[in-house]
Amino acid sequence: MQQLAMGCTVRWDARVGIEMLTVDFEGKLPIVNEKGELVSLIARTDLKKSRDYPLASKDSKKQLLCGAAIGTRESDKERLQLLVQAGVDVIVLDSSQGNSTFQIDMIKFIKQTYPELQVIAGNVVTVAQAKNLIDAGADALRVGMGSGSICITQEVMAVGRPQGSAVYRVSEYSRRFGVPVIADGGVSSVGHVTKALALGASAVMMGSMLAGTTESPGEYFFSDGVRLKKYRGMGSLDAMEKHDSSASRYFSENDRVKVAQGVSGAIVDKGSIHRFLPYLYAALQHGCQDAGAKSLAMLRSMMYSGELKFERRSTSAQVEGGVHSLHSYEKRLF
């Protein structure tokens, strides 16, 4: 192998390159072609991350997978083109009501223009809504309407569905076509994560659960001695007045009077995500263990076969299932 300064030819030996970065303690390793032109750059931190995070989601080029959200209007097609040029792996169509002509037309446009690009569509809560998006070419669905912690769609618009029913019904239908479901909303504890996955979801969105972490956007502030972070819904008047994208998500960008479908609030500090996620991961494992499932796939299989059952709990049962009969207590989750 021919060495050029601290670089090497593209036909390089990976073991030699790793040795140069680890044994010789070089911080960067330039990769050059036979003309001496720089074609890549490997850092010692890249090797460290590869070692520390072996389960990271990467593409065929060993790059981290990247997704981006766009709307469903004509102006979003230009943004889509730029995202594809930048190498985006998956597109999320951001809409509170996914079963619209805007979204169906956008899915068809994406699939015709960029057939290899993955599209996550939604939001939907019924089989009929899911069918329209799957028929248009959606690769995955987000399920949930009005069940988020900062969402008031069900209260104001009288539209939505209980999240458990929505996830189960849509998942049961979409799995016939190999279309995974993302449970979006109603997840405020690790128990809700376990329930959503058991009901058929392949993933969950955890906006409120992660909003209070150190790595989430926003500044901390104190109120009555409690460390908090501001957290607002996309459908809140605060968000719609400051960002057109928030208003367009609810088809309200041209309305003189905007109707809020969300609220602004504050959420308690949860510390670093590096401490919080391991807790979620371990708690989910214990949930599967107590249910008698060795994996999430088995958990869903047990549910569809009838081996795993759900029962409606009365108000008394819910009280009984929580902390009770104590004068005082401290609740530390991790």
pLDDT reported for residue 36: 82
Residue 171 CB partners (closer than 8 Å, separation 6+): 143, 181, 199, 200, 201
Handedness of CA 322, 326, 328, 331 (dihedral sign): negative
If pLDDT is split at 50, 70 and 90, which confidence band does 87 have? very high
Distance CA(184)–CA(141), nearest Å, equals 10
Distance CA(121)–CA(181), nearest Å, equals 10
Residues 89-111 have a mean pLDDT of 94
Residue 251 amino acid letter? F
Distance CA(124)–CA(98), nearest Å, equals 6
pLDDT tens column, 291-303: 999 999 999 999 9
Cβ(279)–Cβ(272) below 8 Å: no
If pLDDT is split at 50, 70 and 90, which confidence band does 61 have? confident
pLDDT reported for residue 201: 95
pTM of the model: 0.81
Query: How far, rounded to the nearest angstrom, does the alpha carbon of residue 57 sit from its chain's CA centroid?
Result: 13
pLDDT reported for residue 98: 92
Question: Would you say residue 246 has pLDDT above 60?
Answer: no
pLDDT reported for residue 1: 40
Percent of the chain topping pLDDT 90: 49
pLDDT reported for residue 9: 45
If pLDDT is split at 50, 70 and 90, which confidence band does 24 have? low
If pLDDT is split at 50, 70 and 90, which confidence band does 68 have? very high
Name the nearest CA neighbour of 46 among 68, 65, 22: 22
Least confident interval from 22-36, 68-82, 178-192, 218-232 = 22-36
Q: 3-state secondary structure string, the chain?
A: CCEECCEECCCCCHHHHHHHHHCCCCCEEEEECCCCCEEEEEEHHHHHHHHHCCCCCECCCCCECCEEEECCCCHHHHHHHHHHHHCCCEEEECCCCCCCHHHHHHHHHHHHHCCCCEEEEEEECCHHHHHHHHHHCCCEEEECCCCCCCECHHHHHCCCCCHHHHHHHHHHHHHHHCCCEEEECCCCCHHHHHHHHHCCCCEEECHHHHHCECCCCCCEEEECCEEEEEEECCCCHHHHHHCHHHHHHCCCCCCCCCCCCECEEEEECCECHHHHHHHHHHHHHHHHHHHCCCCHHHHHHHHHHCCCCCCCCCHHHHHHCCCCCCCCCCCCCC
- Among all residues, which ones are annotated catalytic? 151, 249
Name the nearest CA neighbour of 69 among 89, 86, 85, 93: 93
Phi, psi dihedrals of residue 224, rounded to the nearest 5°: 55, 35
